[in-house]
């Protein structure tokens, strides 16, 4: 492996399996370091394409999302680092696919639990093709002031505290990602900081070893000293011992192997990493520390003494003139995300939407404060749900039953009415369900099904002002307004609408008061003296009875009733009900595989 520097200020990566936080942390690090271009060139989300919006400093940017590794590599040929956030189940396959791409040079595998046999295949392929694998089970790596992988070094505050926004003189490599963060802090306190840091991962077979990276650091002129943090288990550290003995490493090495406490246990102990398990004396922390010391590394007497050993080695290099003091810079402030700023109480921001009818933030959705489980357990029906979502209160059962009856009675009125006709024509044109439904709904208005609100409004106004049916009808006539809720193309005095009769019967049986309905019946009696078809239609029946429901329930103020009528609640009932029928007509036409509709010539009057 050897060679030299892995990353630079122009390095770009492809990020596999979208994770918002680690990508944003990479971009924040880029901005902190003063990079001109983001380090994430593209995102790979198998099966999906598009863009993901993230921040590069104050600016919001769109990062391309690709459906495959091949497509991403073709679109971003200069992105030579592959950061793999796939699960352990697919990490090996996706990593091998990336390694086989000619543009990919480094693959970092974050997942723990990748099968050892798969890892061995990745290692063999990488070595045969002069590529680098970091991990599995790694947090990644970082080149200070240039590039970092995923969550390496943690938060921006920690990165600033560890001086990682600009390069130092120390090359650092460890097995543990968590301990690497600790050592970045330590090295930042007692030296000019990290130049490059790598966590190789805690698995038994890491894609690259401690000695691989130490030898690489030895070839990087900017790295003046090397810090190594190993751990008990395995024999990786002995390859570093051999490299030291053979003189392959010419720079000072400060090393410590963790796990010396293992001897205090009577039986063999498995520490956090898969590879952190001593398989014999040679794999103990004590034996490794002694071997490193004998080979020429600076090895302290304990982990607590590691900081002093690093400081002493660094100070000596400064005295010898091998390290020149780094000029400190002030990194730019990273704009804080709005959500975190709001949570911390630093800012307040206006909301964009107000909702009073439902809430999905808790353990389960709530309708007007009533949990979904309670709605189901209490046996609520569609009428109860409408009462909660439309009226924000739980209405008495007779009210919700009336709502359900209205929906049932208005669900459909045959294929010849305008709404159904439009839906049928649209469905036969091969359009989808939503398009067919909407084409029918768009016909609802003053002339078709949309007169419920107007009927309620005019009946209420006339009743409350004490107008007689004669005065009401004649006043409407003078204004040139047809009485909403009165009149039918088919029904008449001798063939009244059965739906109206059913609604009236239910109301007289269950409603405390039906004063508005009775007024509408009186209006009908007068209009029938003018024409045989000026009967109370279903719009007028629902409009007047809904007024009785609202007034008689005692749960609404006069102002609330007026508002309900004005907003269009009652027409909402017709829209909801008729949607059931229009959907049915759509399915019916598609089930029957009906062809495109063309209106017959003989049904058109062609005239000049």
Q: Taking the CA of residue 363 as centre, how many other CA atoms within 13 Å lie in the half-sphere pointing to its CB?
A: 3
Nearest to 229 by CA among 241, 221, 239, 237: 237
- Residues ≥6 apart with Cβ < 8 Å to 29: 39, 148, 153, 156, 159, 164, 165
> Who contacts 371 (Cβ-Cβ below 8 Å, separation ≥6)?
362, 364, 365
CA distance 335 to 159: 15
| Alpha-carbon distances of 309 from 109, 226, 228, 304, 447, rounded to whole Å | 32, 12, 12, 10, 90
CB 545 within 8 A of CB 409: no
What's the rounded Cα separation, in Å, for the pair 336 and 333? 9
Listed in sequence order, the DSSP H helices in 103-221 are: 116-128, 156-161, 177-190, 210-218
Catalytic residue among 76, 273, 463, 585: 273
Q: Residue 527's CB: how many other CB atoms inside 10 A?
A: 18
Contact status, residue 510 vs residue 367, Cβ threshold 8 Å: no
Query: What is the 3 state secondary structure string of 233-297?
Result: CCCHHHHHHHHHHCCCCCCCEEEEEECHHHHHCCCCCECCCCCCECCCHHHCHHHHHHHHHHCCC
Among residues 353, 352, 395, 394, the alpha carbon closest in space to that of 370 is found at 394
Burial track 563-576 (b if 16+ CB lie within 10 A, e otherwise): ebbeeebbbebbbb
Q: Please give the structure tokens belonging to residue 16.
A: 């596999």
Instruction: Collect all residues with Cβ–Cβ distance below 8 Å to 592 and sequence separation of at least 6.
Output: none
Which residues in 83-93 are b (16+ Cβ under 10 Å) and which e? bbbbebeebbe
Radius of gyration of the chain (CA): 38
First to last CA, the chain: 89
To the query of whether residue 273 is one of the catalytic residues in this protein, the response is: yes
Kindly report the three-state secondary structure assignment for every residue of 411-478.
CCCCCCCHHHHHHHHHHHCCCCHHHHHHHHHCCCECCEECCHHHHHHHHHHHHHCCCCHHHHHHHHHH
Structure tokens at 91: 């990490």
Catalogue the active-site residues.
273
């Amino acid at each position: 492996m050897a060679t030299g520097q892995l990353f630079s200020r122009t390095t770009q990566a492809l990020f596999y399996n979208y994770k918002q936080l680690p990508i944003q942390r990479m971009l924040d690090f880029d901005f902190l370091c003063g990079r001109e271009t983001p380090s994430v060139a593209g995102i790979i989300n198998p099966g999906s394409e598009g863009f993901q919006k993230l921040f590069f400093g104050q600016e919001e940017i769109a990062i391309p999302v690709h459906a495959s590794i091949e497509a991403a590599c073709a679109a971003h040929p200069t992105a030579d680092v592959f950061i793999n956030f796939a699960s352990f189940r697919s990490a090996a396959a996706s990593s091998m696919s990336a390694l086989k791409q000619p543009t990919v040079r480094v693959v970092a595998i974050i997942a723990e639990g990748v099968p050892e046999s798969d890892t061995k295949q990745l290692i063999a392929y990488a070595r045969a093709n002069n590529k680098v694998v970091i991990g599995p089970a790694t947090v990644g790596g970082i080149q200070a002031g240039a590039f970092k992988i995923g969550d390496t070094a943690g938060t921006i505050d920690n990165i600033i505290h560890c001086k990682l926004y600009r390069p130092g003189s120390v090359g650092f490599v460890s097995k543990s990602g968590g301990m690497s963060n600790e050592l970045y802090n330590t090295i930042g306190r007692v030296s000019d900081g990290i130049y490059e840091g790598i966590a190789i991962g805690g698995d038994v077979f890491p894609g690259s070893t401690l000695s691989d990276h130490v030898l690489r650091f030895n070839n990087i002129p900017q790295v003046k000293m090397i810090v190594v943090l190993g751990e008990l288990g395995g024999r990786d550290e002995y390859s570093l011992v051999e490299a030291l003995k053979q003189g392959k490493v010419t720079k000072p090495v400060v090393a410590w192997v963790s796990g010396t406490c293992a001897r205090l246990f009577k039986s063999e102990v498995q520490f956090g990493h898969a590879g952190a398990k001593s398989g014999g004396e040679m794999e103990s922390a004590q034996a490794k520390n002694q071997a490193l010391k004998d080979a020429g590394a600076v090895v302290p007497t304990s982990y607590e003494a590691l900081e002093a050993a690093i400081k002493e080695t660094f100070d000596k290099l400064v005295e010898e003139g091998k390290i020149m003091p780094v000029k400190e810079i002030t990194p730019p402030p990273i704009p804080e995300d709005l959500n975190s700023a709001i949570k911390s109480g630093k800012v307040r921001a206006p909301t964009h939407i107000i909702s009073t009818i439902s809430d999905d933030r808790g353990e389960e959705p709530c309708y007007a404060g009533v949990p979904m489980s309670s709605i189901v357990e209490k046996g609520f029906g569609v009428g109860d749900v409408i009462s909660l979502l439309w009226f924000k209160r739980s209405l008495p059962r007779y009210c919700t039953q009336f709502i359900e009856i209205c929906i049932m009675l208005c669900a459909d009125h045959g294929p010849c009415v305008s709404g159904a006709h439009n839906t049928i024509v649209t469905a036969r044109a091969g359009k989808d369900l939503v398009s067919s439904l909407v084409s029918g709904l768009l016909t609802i208005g003053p002339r078709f099904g949309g007169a419920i609100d107007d009927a309620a409004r005019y009946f209420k106004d006339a009743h409350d002002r004490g107008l007689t049916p004669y005065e009401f009808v004649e006043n409407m006539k003078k204004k040139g307004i047809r009485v909403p809720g009165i009149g039918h193309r088919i029904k008449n005095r001798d063939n009244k609408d059965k739906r109206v009769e059913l609604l009236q019967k239910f109301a007289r049986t269950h409603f405390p008061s039906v004063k508005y309905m009775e007024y509408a019946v009186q209006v009908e009696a007068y209009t029938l003296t003018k024409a045989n078809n000026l009967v109370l239609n279903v719009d007028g029946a629902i409009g007047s009875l809904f007024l009785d429901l609202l007034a008689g329930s005692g749960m609404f103020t006069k102002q609330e009733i007026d508002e309900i009528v004005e907003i269009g609640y009652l027409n909402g009932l017709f829209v909801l009900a008729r949607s059931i029928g229009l959907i049915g007509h759509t399915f019916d036409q598609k089930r029957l595989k009906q062809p495109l509709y063309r209106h017959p010539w003989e049904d058109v009057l062609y005239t000049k």
